[in-house]
Amino acid sequence: MKRQHQKGTLPLYLHVRFIAAAFAILVMAACPFTAFAQSDFLIGTGIYDITGPAAEEGMMGYSMPDQKTEGIMLRLRSRAFVVADPATGKRVAFVCAEAGVLPQGVKQAVVKKLLAAYGGLYTDANVALSATHTHSGPGAISHYAMYNLSMLGYDEKHFNTVVDGIFRSIVRAHNNLAPGSIYINTGELDNCGWNRSPGAYANDPARERAGYDANTDRRMTLLKFVTDAGEQIGTINWFAVHPTSLGNTNKLISGDNKGYASYLFERAKGTNYAAGRTFVAAFAENNAGDVSPNIYWGYPNGIDDFNHMKIIGTRQYDKAADLYNSATRRVTGHVDYRHMYVDFSNTSIDARFIQDQPDGAVTCSAAIGVSMLAGSTEDGKGIDIPEGITYPYDISILGQVFPWGFTLLPGDQECQAEKPIILPMGRIRPQGIPLTPEVLPVQILRIGDFAIIAQPTEITTMAGRRLRQTVTDALDGTVDNVVIAALSNAYAGYVATREEYATQNYEGASTHFGPYTLNAFQQSFDTIATAMADGTAADSGPTPRDIADNQLIPVIGVVFDDKPLDVNFGSVSADVRTFYNRGETAEAVFWGGHPKNDYRIQGTFLAIEKMTTHKVCHQEKVGCDTITVCEDVPVVEKVVARDWDPQTRYHWERYGVAYSKIRISWDTGGAEPGQYRIHHYGNWKSGWTGEIKPYEGVSSVFTLY
């Protein structure tokens, strides 16, 4: 028998709802939830800047040591959604952050700040942090060494910036809580992502594949948040595509196609990024482990990448806007959550989760295979070896490139089956700490008849379908829609199906815990989903280590800034032209300071200012007469673009030993004719005192025809 899902109570009369809404605004932080039983939920959204260092920081995603930040294309932001149950008082917080990954240490630090601020209101169990997985953001924020290798160290300042930004976005969502409703809509989005490992997918059972009309998940699931007062406060959707339109030659910070889609939606809704309360649009990640945006364009070439990013981002935005505008079905029911930690390096899996192993199986100590080094051909090609290399394979062939040595324990290679081990992260333990985490979180957030699977890896299309079905079955008819929020709460590589793993394409070679990793996740999520359906508690599992204080290799910071003696910080090195035709790019170069001095969080490194004239008059003595002399003085009418607008580029370049040149450009297409100037904001560091001081610079005024 299916468990019956308890629906929410019917709305009361309008004047009663209005009184309740007003009362909620006054006391929402510590309200008696039963006072708002007529509302579906208490809902709140918040957004905050997490951009990080815009120069000389390794970028997270492609693992290319020479791919270091050199400026900003789009700022990165954390978008938070808090939903509380008026009947039970339970609440959940879901965060979609524009980052390559959100390592376990970030979740630990965010929760510590939330516990300090709100007691037990927000905890490990009811807060989920999900990364969009942009490959064009700065890294060096993991406490596990492997994910900092290409950045050559750990950056505590950047780590704290990400933690603080996520925390502040949740605080804003909490402060904005108000009675309201959530609407859900789903639809198919074609031509917006293609399977980059079709051979591996084809190895999945034919009968299983026949149940789907595509080798990627094309379904977009969207939530729309509206207060009882009729205020539209936000939206979030889940769609499976990698944000890798920008390739590994790009060095400008960007949220890639998902960040661009968020920008388009928020611009359409008039989002004010400086405001504590404003509309928030998040484009979250789904089971995109084998889904590329680049198949039909080939590998990103550094020339067409920006246009490809706009195309894929616009397609996601257009679909999301359509679903948003046509969303009419309300999410109803109660808020709930379950959370558990699992040691995936040594998990025994029951036979009912493994079709080909009647006696069950066990996971393995974390390791990656040779084909991981090949990269994902369409998104991030690695060294010149093919995908699909299976055991046995003589890894000494790679000794010239990777001259390390390691010792496998008996059974390690056997456990990993078809995967020829090239790096056993679980066995290499500097300071007794493995290179990657093994104790990982599994979490389900339930908002009425909708559920979120918060899963800490990149999971392939078919693996995601299997996991989603496992959770749907375990919830036993109590939910109508289940989505996967990939890359949530930690990061530990990929998850492929057993059949995909056997081919050892990039995704299988990057599945850390062996051929039955997916089965272990299915078992773990079945456990907490069953507990949720039964209304019972779930075992919390082993506590993961907190290694924030074990970071020994910090990245190099700014020593000092310098400039030529005959200029000031902010002086123009190369000025704009006198005039431009619309569609041309206006550009100016400034003598500046290093962007690491101040990330200008919630601010900007540039402003494109539309000018007007103001008549200024003064008296002058001419002979025996006094005359009035007037002149037109240019003044700022409005700012038309900043460093988070895709029409602008903020580009940093080291010049000499400690000089910085800042090139700011603006694509004038679509701008109004008139007069403009480029305004640069920055900070420089004294080599004598270490003090960091702000500076500004402006270009000449130019005319746009």
Residue 73 to residue 81: CA distance in whole angstroms: 25
Provide Rg for the chain, Cα atoms: 27
Residue 209 to residue 202: CA distance in whole angstroms: 8
Q: Which residues contact 503 (CB under 8 A, 6 or more apart)?
A: 197, 199, 200, 203, 388, 390, 418
DSSP string, 421-483: EEE-TTT--GGG--SS--EEEEEEEEETTEEEEE-SSEE-HHHHHHHHHHHHHHHTTS-SEEE
> Does residue 292 have an active-site annotation?
yes
DSSP string, 677-701: EEEEEEEEE-TTT--EEEEEEE---
Query: What Cα–Cα distance (Å) separates residue 412 from each residue in 359, 388, 425, 505?
Result: 19, 20, 12, 20
Tokens of 210: 């026949």
Residue 527 to residue 521: CA distance in whole angstroms: 10
Residue 443 to residue 287: CA distance in whole angstroms: 16
Secondary structure letter of residue 100 according to DSSP: S
Considering the candidates 292, 365, 665, 699, report the single residue annotated as catalytic. Answer: 292
Q: Which residues contact 689 (CB under 8 A, 6 or more apart)?
A: none
Query: What Cα–Cα distance (Å) separates residue 527 from each residue in 114, 346, 349, 443, 578?
Result: 27, 17, 12, 10, 68
Q: Which residues contact 50 (CB under 8 A, 6 or more apart)?
A: 76, 77, 78, 97, 98, 99, 161, 162, 165, 166, 601
Helix (H) or strand (E) holding 369: strand 368-369
Query: What Cα–Cα distance (Å) separates residue 460 from each residue in 125, 150, 320, 465?
Result: 25, 25, 22, 9
Residue 348 to residue 456: CA distance in whole angstroms: 19
Q: Is 514 helix (H, G, I), strand (E, B) or coil?
A: coil
* 405 and 414 Cβ atoms separated by less than 8 Å: no
Q: Is 591 left (phi over 0), alpha (psi -120 to 50) or beta?
A: beta
The two beta strands, 439-447 and 625-642, are unpaired
- Please name which of 389, 390, 421, 392 lies closest in space to residue 408, comparing C-alpha atoms: 421
- 314 burial via Cβ count (<10 Å: 0-12, 13-18, 19+): middle
Q: Which residues are known to be catalytic?
A: 292
